[in-house]
Chain A
Amino acid sequence: MRLFENLIKDRLGTISLIVIVVTIVVGIFAPIFAPHDPEEVNMSLRYASSSWDYLLGNDHLGRCILSRIIYGIRPSVLWVLVALFISVLIGAVLGFLAGYFRGKVDATVMRICDTMLSFPGYVMALAVVGILGVGLENILIAFTLIKWAWFARIIRTSVMQFAEKEYVKFAKASGISDVKIIYKHMVPVTFSDIAVISSSSIGSMILQVSGFSFLGLGIQAPNAEWGMMLNEAREVMFTRPELMLAPGLAIIMVVSAFNFFSDALQVAIDPKLITSKNKLQEELTISKIKLQKRWQNNL
């Protein structure tokens, strides 16, 4: 609860959290919040500007832009969160196994991680889309494939630190089962690290996924997605520039909220960090270099 109190004290963090929660709730209950059916075509309202009925106006098929933004939360944010959750889950399980048991398990897991990480994220995504065909699910599969390795490696480092602690050694020596040790002693302490690294990658993941939809490789019509809405708006950018606005700002708002939140989360977990913000993220980058060294040694 101390964590929550710290978080509450941080006003920007609170605002971000509210934005995130509101976005998620609105996304989940989109049918309740959306004033219209997002796929309802009405050609007589093609490119209509905003009105009381259609607060943000209508798009090239006369569909309600506000409703599309609201429904767009699902693929643009919620599905990304699901993909992130899955990759964190896989990463956490393997990271725990590797970091706790070390030895052969560690070597194998890390070897697989290294291989996955030698494909740059975008390249892997293009490869998967190229073979399985365009579509949001394939983009998300690609991201899960890439990200879990990255999470596994960081979580492993974090687990290794704690596994060396005296009380864990003591627990081991007194014959408590490994499962119990992991569950009782390791998960709680490493949880904050996991929360921070996963929250810090949401922003960039949302941006990347929307980028693929923007290129036409992500979600397919008629589903609403912010990147795709921007792509549609781009086609009429000089005749109807206002269409670029709503989806663009929606992305910026949500991504900034996640970034600020992740920032606030770090500070809340470790108030010492307040002097040099984002230290963890920077350390992560630096530790990535060190890790790189290590895996090369492992080979």
Chain B
Amino acid sequence: MGSYIIKRLFISIPLLLVISFLTFILINLSPLDPVEVVLQAQGVPTITDELIAQTKDELGMDKPFIIRYFDWVIACLQLDFGVSYVTGKPVWSLIGPAFLNTLKLTLVSSVVIIVLSILLGVICAMKEGEIMDKSVRGFSFFLTAMPSYWMATLMIWYFSVKVDLLPTSGMESYKSYILPVIVIAISYAGIYFRVVRSSMLSNLNEDYVLYGRACGLTERKVTMHILRNSLQVAISIFCMAIPIILGSTVVIENVFAWPGLGSLSVRAILGRDFPIIQAYVLILAVAFVLFNTISDIINAVMNPKLRNEI
């Protein structure tokens, strides 16, 4: 087991390098001269050519591209992503807490999605073709066609203003989680519950089910067996869902004024704050790879057969 994990982790490293290199190039494509922007951020009123040359030297900008890249990677590993052009604060001091907030929202939403899709998936699979199955699936079809921000605004209007149960925005108490989590869960549970359902259904037709039934096991026990087998698919899907949700809370965060990465990045774009955009892209891409790695490891733990696949 241990060797699998090590091998698996080792495989992620080249990918991480490629990602970081791309991010580095990406930001070097930006139309602004980083030296000039740094000088502006420091509030230097007249930027002379000598000053630019001198700052270039100080910032190490005159070094060869590849050396700058490695300098940058080393700085990033120490969480030094530079300084925000707009606020003048270190990027990490802004993006760190925001990342944590987005992570909290993502994890809570994922748990809700897991519970909801397993629950609905199992019920619908057991009652395949019955009214319950059809209505849940019909409803989910409708919900996935609804723009999430539209749904979010309607929910704010209803639950926060009309009924006055929940806060409209921000992140102050557990109550603040309810609406954004519901909106995220609805948009994703609609997709994932179908996966659970179909995996349940295909399990229902497996030999071991027929065998179990033939041997006179109670229906309850058979269901438990099926459930356990389906759970595996479910878990691997959810492991994949977490990074996807992490990257797609942008719209929801902006509607609910959630102080997370999504709000931060949109503000950074509208304020042309490149160091923040760069750090945002890098951090999320790395998180994406790490979560995928973790999900692989979890899968391997659950299903030893996969370990040999490496």
Q: Do chains A and B touch in the complex (CB under 8 A)?
A: yes
Answer yes or no: B18 CB below 8 A from chain A CBs: yes
For A123, give its contact among B142, B201, B281 (CB under 8 Å). B281
Answer yes or no: B176 CB below 8 A from chain A CBs: no
Complex Cα gap A288–B161 (Å)? 42
User: Would A238 and B157 be within 8 Å (CB), given that A129-B269, A259-B145 are in contact?
Assistant: yes
From B66-74, B220-228, B246-254, the one touching the partner chain is: B246-254
Complex Cα gap A286–B306 (Å)? 15
Question: Please, what's the 1-or-0 string for B113-146, where 1 marks a CB less than 8 Å from any CB in chain A?
Answer: 0000000000000000000000001000110111
B137 neighbours in A (Cβ, 8 Å): 277
Q: Would B288 and A118 count as touching, CB distance under 8 A?
A: yes
Complex Cα gap A211–B252 (Å)? 10
Q: Would B284 and A123 count as touching, CB distance under 8 A?
A: yes
Interface of A is mostly: helix
Closest to B13 in A: A299
Q: Would B277 and A130 count as touching, CB distance under 8 A?
A: yes
Q: Would B194 and A278 count as touching, CB distance under 8 A?
A: yes
From A34-42, A64-72, A214-222, the one touching the partner chain is: A214-222
Answer yes or no: B150 CB below 8 A from chain A CBs: yes
From B22-30, B34-42, B44-52, B55-63, the one touching the partner chain is: B22-30
Answer yes or no: B198 CB below 8 A from chain A CBs: yes
Q: Would B269 and A217 count as touching, CB distance under 8 A?
A: yes
Complex Cα gap A247–B246 (Å)? 27
B281 neighbours in A (Cβ, 8 Å): 119, 123-124, 126-127, 130
The smallest C-beta distance from B163 to any residue of chain A, in angstroms, reads 15
Q: Would A127 and B26 count as touching, CB distance under 8 A?
A: yes
Answer yes or no: A223 CB below 8 A from chain B CBs: no
Complex Cα gap A130–B270 (Å)? 8
Q: Would A131 and B145 count as touching, CB distance under 8 A?
A: no
The residues in A between 188 and 208 inclusive whose CB is less than 8 angstroms from any CB of B are 203, 207
Complex Cα gap A299–B292 (Å)? 15
User: Would A131 and B240 be within 8 Å (CB), given that A252-B145, A255-B145, A299-B14 are in contact?
Assistant: no
Closest to A128 in B: B26
A297 neighbours in B (Cβ, 8 Å): 309-310
B310 neighbours in A (Cβ, 8 Å): 296-297
Question: Please, what's the 1-or-0 string for B232-273, where 1 marks a CB less than 8 Å from any CB in chain A?
Answer: 010011001001101110110010000000000110111000
Complex Cα gap A296–B199 (Å)? 24
The smallest C-beta distance from A240 to any residue of chain B, in angstroms, reads 13
For B30, give its contact among A124, A126, A131, A299 (CB under 8 Å). A131
Q: Would A289 and B240 count as touching, CB distance under 8 A?
A: yes
B198 neighbours in A (Cβ, 8 Å): 276, 278-279, 282-283
Complex Cα gap A217–B161 (Å)? 28
Q: Would A285 and B195 count as touching, CB distance under 8 A?
A: yes
Closest to B187 in A: A207
Q: Would B288 and A119 count as touching, CB distance under 8 A?
A: yes
Answer yes or no: A134 CB below 8 A from chain B CBs: yes
Answer yes or no: A281 CB below 8 A from chain B CBs: yes
A289 neighbours in B (Cβ, 8 Å): 236-237, 240
Q: Would A120 and B247 count as touching, CB distance under 8 A?
A: yes
The smallest C-beta distance from A75 to any residue of chain B, in angstroms, reads 15
Could you list 30 A-B pairs, sorted by A, with CB under 8 Å?
A118-B288, A119-B281, A120-B243, A123-B280, A123-B281, A124-B281, A126-B280, A127-B23, A127-B277, A127-B280, A130-B265, A130-B281, A207-B148, A211-B149, A215-B250, A217-B266, A217-B270, A237-B157, A238-B161, A251-B147, A252-B145, A252-B146, A259-B141, A279-B198, A281-B194, A282-B198, A286-B199, A286-B233, A293-B309, A296-B310
B→A interface (CB under 8 Å): 8, 11, 14-15, 18-19, 22-23, 26-27, 29-31, 137, 141-142, 144-150, 153-154, 157, 161, 191, 194-195, 198-199, 201, 233, 236-237, 240, 243-244, 246-248, 250-251, 254, 265-266, 268-270, 274, 277, 280-281, 284-285, 288-289, 292, 296, 306, 309-310
A→B interface (CB under 8 Å): 114-115, 118-124, 126-127, 129-131, 134, 203, 207, 210-211, 214-217, 227, 230, 234, 237-238, 241, 244, 248, 251-252, 255-256, 259-260, 276-279, 281-283, 285-286, 288-289, 292-293, 296-297, 299
